[in-house]
Structure 1
Amino acid sequence: MSPLDRLPSDRGRASEWLEHHALVAVTLGTAVVLVVMLYLPAGVVFSEAFVDDGLPTLGHFTDVLTDPFYFGILADVFAEPLAIGTHLGSLAAWVGAVSISLSVGYPIPGLDVPVPWIGIDTPGVRKGLFGFTAYQAALSTIASVALGLPAAYVLANYEFYGRQTLRSLTILPFVLPGIMVAVGFYAMFGRTGTLNSLLGAVGLGPFAFIEANPLAIVILAHAFYNAPLVARLTVTAWEAVDARTVETARSLGASERRAFRDVVVPQLAPAVLTGALLTFIFTFMTFPIVLALGGLQLATVEVWIYDRIQQLDYAEAATLAVLETILSLGLTYAYLRYESAQTGFARAPSPPSKERLIPDLRTALSLRRLAIFGYGLVALLLFVGPMASLVVGSFTDGSGFTLRNYAFLLERQLEGASFQTQPWPAVRNSLLFGVATLLVAVPMGVVISVVTVRAGRRGRIVDTLAMLPLAVSGVVFGIGLLQGLVFGISLPGGWRFQVTGAVAIVVAHAVAAYPFVTRNVSPLLGSLDPAMVESARALGASRTRAMLDIELPLVANGIVAGAAFAFAISVGEFSSTVILASGSESYTMPVAVERYLGRRSGPAIAMGTLLLIVTAASFVVIDRVGGRYEL
């Protein structure tokens, strides 16, 4: 037999070997990417917390944990953990200082009838930096859930023109750089902003919304980011509710409210709690919004890490980063444990029917629809207002309407190489990096989902470690990339390992984006019936073939949703991009916005408007292309 006669069988054996070992190979490739682009940069910064003058130490942790500035009242507990009696005495003294007063004639302005009133006076509690960070994250989570649930209700239960497009655009806030959101909120709520202009038209104001209560504005800005996330997760769960179960409850005598409470709410709770947990993690790690709208007056842990790095206090910054990461990983682990106990949102055999949002003219408006329209006004004010103010700001200046800002961008583009930052390369790079990120992040996220789901309980630790991008400070990650990859690492033999340019940007974006793919795919993958895969295996399919032909098509809706998130994160990513973008050919739209903002605010706002338009169109296309997979 000649060598050519053996070639087909050799190819068949090679193909069979690849099919059986493809998952292992892709898993190893994913692990290498994570080690190089995630764990190495984070480790470079974290190592500063464990070294003092070249010697290993835990002294930095002792200093931070026992400092009331950082941990408030808990600093005493960390300083003397065994002094239980003393700590219980302090708690008892605090409880004893709480006073409750009852007034039977509490004065209410404009009301003549005395009103009973119960007052509770509590002594102040030293929250410390970590306590305040958790406090503002909790308030932001409550606001995000409160604003996201009504949107989910409308999108899941009513039909109206543009509903699918509106649902596609719920992901848009994720793409906006924090500095642009801050500019938008100033343009909306500032003394000369859109809201004060509208109030001035009816003889009110101006009001110092931001100056009077910056914490409230920060919380609203966090809700601007995260309420759409809560809404998107809840809509998916709501549309997975089987309408027949509600009809059965009604036929057994349950009222509409009772059927909703006993049948629908338990099925929505996992999605709502998932959105709340993710929101708390995101807002606990908040940085650009607080820095821009509150400054050091409302400093969170992330803002203070940034300040310490600016002061060249790397040891303290690294110590805070390690403690923040431990807390965030703990929250992530709790989230993953909760998620693993839930079932995925499969397509409902009989999904809920949708009413027309706008009834016929002959139909009277119900209180429910009036409440929906009232919520629509709030949504216009909070979600559309800042973005609309950005768009309006790009066409106006102190003298009124103008196209000068866009003319500036066009001039930059036409002049070519004489300018370092041009609009078209920024748009082109953002889209190319976004598509390339999809090609890397989606397989990474799917592979991690498959590995962790198959590993069962043992995979929970791996899953938690794989979610490190959600728990690591963006500032720390950026500094780690700079010190570990951009500057390069010396290797034995005189070699130097260095990663820069477009490849580094795409991989960094993929590392930041793949957790969202994993979080969209894992619940669906974990809820599949194992009998389907076992049947395919019994018919001769390999494990990889069964995964490609059976499992992945059934979780395609999760992959599409994860891809949309990944694209959004890539297009809006700023921290790693501004560090890794070497030269003048790898900058993106957020980087261009920052560069313009450092010189002239008008062109920066115009560039931000282009960012809004390009990404909004992209998200609609992604959802339309993957629409057949959506629930």
Structure 2
Amino acid sequence: MPARQVAERLSAPALAVVTLALLALMFFYPVGTVLVEAVRVDGAYSLATVVEVLRDPFYFGVFAQALDDPAVVVRSFPDYRLGLFGFTAYQALLSTIAAIALGLPGAYVLARFEFPGRRTIRSLTALPFVMPTILVAIGFVATFGASGVVTGALQSLGLQVSSFTGTLGIIVLAHAFYDAPLIARITAASWEGIDAEMTETARSLGASPLRAFRDVVIPQLLPAILTGALLTFIFSFMSFAIVLALGGLSLATVEVWVYHRISQLDYGTASTLATMEMLFSLALTYAYLRYEARQRAAGAARPPDRIDLLGPATKRRLFAWGYAVVALVVFVLPIVSLIVSSVTGPEGFTLRNYRFLVERQASAYAFQVKPLTAVTNSLLFGAGTLLLAVPMGVFLAIVSTRQFSGRKLIDTLSMAPFAVSGVVVGLGLLRGFVFGTEAFGYRFTVTGALAIVAAHAVGAYPFVTRNVAPALAGIDDSIVESARSLGASRARVMRDIELPLVVPAVLAGTAFAFAISIGEFDSTVILATGDGSYTMPVAIERFIGRRLGPATAMGVVLLVVTSVSFVIIDRLGEGSGFGG
């Protein structure tokens, strides 16, 4: 057999081995390290820490108390103590409700109205997948903090308001800001797929507009709403940067408390809490993926015509314009406040915050956060992430479109990083590789920078997969069969025909991976501790605790980089595979 044919036959298995080896090293081994550490005490396997956490009311509230005294459930009703896990779920539930309330009207406007810029606004609903959460946090601090735009405006009216940060309400609103576009994106796609004839038939049979909406439209929208709600709950439950910046330890969720225990070098408790959270989020993500797979809907036979938003005043148009005002305040104000705060001070317009960044870079003190170093690190880590995430994502996309025994298992395992928080991955890499691991008689260690690239690649490659897989699945089978009938091997068909056809999807996935790396905060803030591997999001978090101005200036720099990535995504593809 010619060497070329042998190479073609071996290329796919070799790529599979390399991809699985990278996944094992960068994800499964670190996560396994966290799992093992949760059940290992003083060198021996033990559930002592797990039992201690389960029985501690601080973590599980009334449920922990009920293990010793079940009657407490009755006695304390309805004033239950939630505990850390209960509060995390509670704020995630409130955030999901707020996101639905804010996102559903947006879905209606996008699906039923025609207006200039509609396609651009629709593409902006992909922002939750690329906008760094720390950017949302600093935007809300600039809006609602002690020196925020809204706080200052209320004070100028004579109201005694100091700050809205540090409250549950502001955390819920920030989560709604982040997740409502996702609800709108998923629900709008479903709304556009409802056949107009079904509603018209209901109306012709005597149903009022409200009843037709209730009996015909809502049942068809409900699967999309539930899908978006479940995804939003997962995101809010695992939220870290937003809660850390806006709530701190006083409103800590599981993620924030894990980070706190890591900072206190209590790795046993941190691993136990991270494991419990991970198992819960994995169960939720599995439910989401199963539910999403069952709700793939076919296109509508005749979608209803969109209403021109610019026309005589009607109830529908007034509703749409009213929502536009609300959306402008909720979605645009934090970003505008961020930009305004970066160029203003007590004396008015100023560039001193940007001068501070330049001067800080020239500082001789090595321990200080240097902005240019943060930018350079972010770009370098982004490039390193692409080298790992893009080949892995493309290969797993190929696997997900092939029919073979065990494909579903591999597909599920490959998407597992989506359900595991960056804090867990960062903790596992810190304990497993940065601190060193024994194997084959040697102690293997990696630098914080390499660990950060690995963590970013783990978080980014599923988005490459979800962009490329639909494009591969959409290729006409007859093209592939024709090439095979002419003697081309399967590897050559993939190289010469299929991959060239999905180049736009690969490029869109590449842009996604880069944007996710640039904005990744959860794992980076753990792995960059104590060295010079900090990135732009970490620099923002460190500035927030000192002065708002430099933090907002750094936030604007991150916003520019993220916006450029988003424009590339918008030009090259239709966005993330999540939610269609």
Give the TM-score of the pair, scaled to structure 2. Answer: 0.83
Does the 8 A contact of 1:574 with 1:590 survive in 2?
Answer: yes
- Answer with 424-433 or 306-315: which moved more: 424-433
- Answer with 370-379 or 448-457: which moved more: 448-457
Corresponding residue number in structure 2 for 1:619: 566
Could you say if the C-alpha distance between residues 377 and 133 of structure 1 is closer, same or farther in structure 2, counting changes exceeding 3 Å? same
Letter of the aligned partner of 1:13 in structure 2?
Q
Please state if 1:160 is matched with 2:115.
yes
SS in 2 for 1:124: coil
In the alignment, the residues of structure 2 paired with residue 628 and residue 601 of structure 1 have an alpha-carbon distance, to the nearest angstrom, of 33
In the alignment, the residues of structure 2 paired with residue 259 and residue 567 of structure 1 have an alpha-carbon distance, to the nearest angstrom, of 45
1:367 aligned to 293, 315, 323, which one? 315
Deviation at 1:393?
0.8
Could you say if the C-alpha distance between residues 321 and 191 of structure 1 is closer, same or farther in structure 2, counting changes exceeding 3 Å? closer
Could you say if the C-alpha distance between residues 464 and 627 of structure 1 is closer, same or farther in structure 2, counting changes exceeding 3 Å? closer
SS in 1 for 2:458: helix
Deviation at 1:394?
0.6
Corresponding residue number in structure 2 for 1:184: 139
In the alignment, the residues of structure 2 paired with residue 265 and residue 522 of structure 1 have an alpha-carbon distance, to the nearest angstrom, of 30
Please state if 1:498 is matched with 2:445.
yes
Matches within 5 A, 1:529-548: 542-544=489-491
In the alignment, the residues of structure 2 paired with residue 352 and residue 558 of structure 1 have an alpha-carbon distance, to the nearest angstrom, of 30
In the alignment, the residues of structure 2 paired with residue 340 and residue 457 of structure 1 have an alpha-carbon distance, to the nearest angstrom, of 19
In the alignment, the residues of structure 1 paired with residue 212 and residue 305 of structure 2 have an alpha-carbon distance, to the nearest angstrom, of 16
Please state if 1:406 is matched with 2:343.
no
Matches within 5 A, 1:131-530: 131-172=86-127, 174-199=129-154, 203=157, 205-207=159-161, 210=164, 214-239=167-192, 241=193, 245-247=195-197, 250=200, 253=204, 265=218, 268-343=221-296, 353-357=305-309, 359=310, 363-411=311-359, 415=362, 423-424=371-372, 426-431=374-379, 433-434=381-382, 436-438=384-386, 440-452=388-400, 454=402, 459-493=407-441, 495-500=442-447, 504-519=451-466
In the alignment, the residues of structure 1 paired with residue 488 and residue 198 of structure 2 have an alpha-carbon distance, to the nearest angstrom, of 41
Q: Structure 1: give runs of 5+ residues left out of the alignment.
A: 1-8, 81-86, 98-121
Give the TM-score of the pair, scaled to structure 1. Answer: 0.77
In the alignment, the residues of structure 1 paired with residue 226 and residue 469 of structure 2 have an alpha-carbon distance, to the nearest angstrom, of 16
1:125 aligned to 75, 80, 102, which one? 80
In the alignment, the residues of structure 1 paired with residue 54 and residue 183 of structure 2 have an alpha-carbon distance, to the nearest angstrom, of 34
Please state if 1:63 is matched with 2:52.
yes
In the alignment, the residues of structure 2 paired with residue 586 and residue 69 of structure 1 have an alpha-carbon distance, to the nearest angstrom, of 34
**Number of residue pairs matched by the alignment:** 574
In the alignment, the residues of structure 1 paired with residue 561 and residue 422 of structure 2 have an alpha-carbon distance, to the nearest angstrom, of 25
SS in 2 for 1:286: coil
Deviation at 1:136?
1.3
Deviation at 1:572?
0.5
The higher radius of gyration belongs to: 1
Does the 8 A contact of 2:143 with 2:149 survive in 1?
Answer: yes
Corresponding residue number in structure 2 for 1:117: none
In the alignment, the residues of structure 2 paired with residue 307 and residue 72 of structure 1 have an alpha-carbon distance, to the nearest angstrom, of 19
Could you say if the C-alpha distance between residues 472 and 499 of structure 1 is closer, same or farther in structure 2, counting changes exceeding 3 Å? same
Q: Structure 2: give runs of 5+ residues left out of the alignment.
A: none
Letter of the aligned partner of 1:223 in structure 2?
A
Deviation at 1:43?
2.5
In the alignment, the residues of structure 2 paired with residue 61 and residue 447 of structure 1 have an alpha-carbon distance, to the nearest angstrom, of 38
In the alignment, the residues of structure 2 paired with residue 497 and residue 490 of structure 1 have an alpha-carbon distance, to the nearest angstrom, of 6
In the alignment, the residues of structure 2 paired with residue 78 and residue 551 of structure 1 have an alpha-carbon distance, to the nearest angstrom, of 58
Does the 8 A contact of 1:179 with 1:288 survive in 2?
Answer: yes
In the alignment, the residues of structure 2 paired with residue 143 and residue 554 of structure 1 have an alpha-carbon distance, to the nearest angstrom, of 41
SS in 1 for 2:517: helix
Residue deviations 1:18-73, cap 9 Å, x none?
A: 2x444433332221112111122223333222122221112222222233332234
Letter of the aligned partner of 1:30 in structure 2?
T
Deviation at 1:432?
5.1
Identity %: 56
Could you say if the C-alpha distance between residues 474 and 503 of structure 1 is closer, same or farther in structure 2, counting changes exceeding 3 Å? closer
Could you say if the C-alpha distance between residues 228 and 310 of structure 1 is closer, same or farther in structure 2, counting changes exceeding 3 Å? same
Letter of the aligned partner of 1:145 in structure 2?
I
